[in-house]
């Protein structure tokens, strides 16, 4: 059975979850696995020298559990009939995996808000460090401009996905 897996990654609180949920609303047979659902308990999160809990590192996540969830989906994806370009029906499940360190392993609203200095002093530097690691990987990765509106980002990603699915002869493109 054909499957299509999409990864969305980026800085903490950068709109990954919002984009994934919007795509899920518009793509047939689409499931979402969010890395945010796999944080370890607070008692297991290390604290840095500034007193900040270290949520922006892989060690804060139960990646084995997340990979198990992805493997379970791959073994038995949720699906329904989708019309292909050939006019026949074919089952083509789509999985969106989203998270801030998605590609570093071989929109959250914070209540209460982050303490002053946390984003600039910890979240952003960790994002830049991890992004550099990802840039050294040879996968086909499309970088989005986070200054664009939520609607513009959705439109760009949705159109790219529809084109890619059409290339793979997975989905009939209708307008």
> For residue 83, what pLDDT is reported?
37
The Cα 67–Cα 3 span in angstroms is 17
Q: Which two tokens stand for residue 134?
A: 């990802």
Instruction: Give me the architecture of the 4-174 domain, per CATH.
Output: 3-Layer(aba) Sandwich (3.40)
* For the chain, domain boundaries: 4-174
The SS3 call for residue 17 is: helix
Give the residue, 139 or 41, on which the prediction is more confident: 41
Residue 70 and residue 97 in contact, taking contact as beta carbons nearer than 8 Å = yes
The SS3 call for residue 69 is: helix
Q: What is the pTM of this model?
A: 0.64
Active site residue 160: no
169, pLDDT greater than 70: no
Per-chain mean pLDDT for the chain: 79
Tell me what the mean pLDDT of segment 116-137 comes to: 78
Tell me what the mean pLDDT of segment 59-86 comes to: 74
Nearest residue to 60 via CA among 25, 105, 23:
105
Active-site hit among 36, 56, 145, 160: 36
Cα atoms in the 13 Å half-sphere on the side-chain side of 93: 13
């Amino acid at each position: 059975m054909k499957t299509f897996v999409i990864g969305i990654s980026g800085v903490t609180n950068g709109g990954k979850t919002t984009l994934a949920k919007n795509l899920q609303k518009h793509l047939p047979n689409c499931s979402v696995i969010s890395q945010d659902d796999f944080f370890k308990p607070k008692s297991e999160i290390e604290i840095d020298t500034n007193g900040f809990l270290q949520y922006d590192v892989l060690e804060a996540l139960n990646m084995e559990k997340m990979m198990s969830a992805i493997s379970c989906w791959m073994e038995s994806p949720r699906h329904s009939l989708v019309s292909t370009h050939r006019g026949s029906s074919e089952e083509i499940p789509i999985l969106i995996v989203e998270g801030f360190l998605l590609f570093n392993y071989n929109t959250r609203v914070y209540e209460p808000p982050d303490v002053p200095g946390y984003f600039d002093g910890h979240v952003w530097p960790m994002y830049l460090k991890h992004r550099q690691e990802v840039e050294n990987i040879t996968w086909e990765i499309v970088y989005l401009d986070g200054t664009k509106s939520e609607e513009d980002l959705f439109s760009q990603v949705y159109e790219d996905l529809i084109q890619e699915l059409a290339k793979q002869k997975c989905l009939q493109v209708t307008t």
